[in-house]
Structure 1
Amino acid sequence: MKKMSDRIDLYNRYYTERNFDRAEVFLALREKYQIQDVLYPGSFVHITPAFIFPHVVFVDNDKNAKRFFNNLDQVKRIIEAKKDYTEEPTIEFLGQNYQAPLPLAENKIDLLISHYAGIISQPCKQYLRVGGLLLVNNSHADAGVAYLDKDYALIATIDPNRKSSILETNLHQYFIPQKQPVSINDLIISGKGIGYTKTADLYLFQRIA
């Protein structure tokens, strides 16, 4: 991918045109929590977090993601045109499988993002600091896995369509199976979320151990 316009077009096709950039979610998180360093495994070309947070590491083994990020200067220029902070953006791209060890310091990341890319809460937990946040959906059962992991605590649910998008009440109503309970290993092996009596679009966990 040679032209910056090609990168912009690819980002817009997948996120802007689908109204799926989730900028409002990241803005809400920034307003409420102390977040500087972000890790986004399985990011594809979803660079929106870098518009909101100054330090973001993207990880993806997808060939189109690698092509998108093969000129970081161009990607950085896109981010600089849209960023909502005064600092110089610092971005890094790791073109590898996130389940393999990453060349990152442990216990440093403020926000770990898990969106539609498999089980991220487990192999990437080591990079998230205690007290840091995991933003996750349940498309591949990762929210259910995090809920059953004693190192995480559910602290909020998020609905981008709700005026007050971060909800911290009635959390006990979530992750009640519609059928029989499952173990964390069951969810990891299947990679598929089960039915719950009450669900949210996104879940916010805090690493507590």
Structure 2
Amino acid sequence: MNRRGPGCGCFGCGGTVLVTVLVLGALAWFFVLKPAREFVANWQTPPAQTQTRTTPAPTGNVNQPVTRADVERFVRVRRDVRAALGQSFTGLQGLLNDLNSGQTPNLVRVLDVLKQTGQSVGQARTAQARALTREGMSLERYAVVRDTVNRALGLPNVDFGKVAQSIQNGQLPDLNRDVQTATSQEKALVKGFEAELKATAAAGLLGL
């Protein structure tokens, strides 16, 4: 009588290994690669534009010193972005709270947030483009102002767009907390807006 070796299961040793590999591969696809790919696809899709106007192109030196008027325009754009993110913003805010407390989130937590924001990030980018058009502000200038605001508020520099691309490419993402020191002038620019900027700051994790 032929007997199977211990632990081989009903498929035989080779079959058991193959099934295990397939199961692990399926789990990796649905819980790791799929959320990352969907997020990147939605992030890379060009935002919908209005029929008559498009986001202003950068003119002059977009890296010139940030003004109070820039911060005010930034605040108004951020309001629209926050509204477009809807319920998915809650997960982002929790993740930012962890980062602000000095914690480095694990991969499972990051993937959960990517799944939550995968659909809404496209809507948020469209809302951002419309708001930038309304405010007469280019995307490049907005990014400069965002960096200034983040420094003034002492926020970490984490870009989930880059995180998702790293996961999609089979690489471990860099989730180290990186906070740059702000100047006294930069802190003065956000004075009076701190509460609202902190309340919408989690959108910056998506590069918004």
Is this a same-fold pair by TM over 0.5?
Answer: no
Work out which of the two has the higher radius of gyration on C-alpha atoms and give 1 or 2. Answer: 2
Give the shorter-chain TM-score range. under 0.3
Greater strand percent: which structure?
1
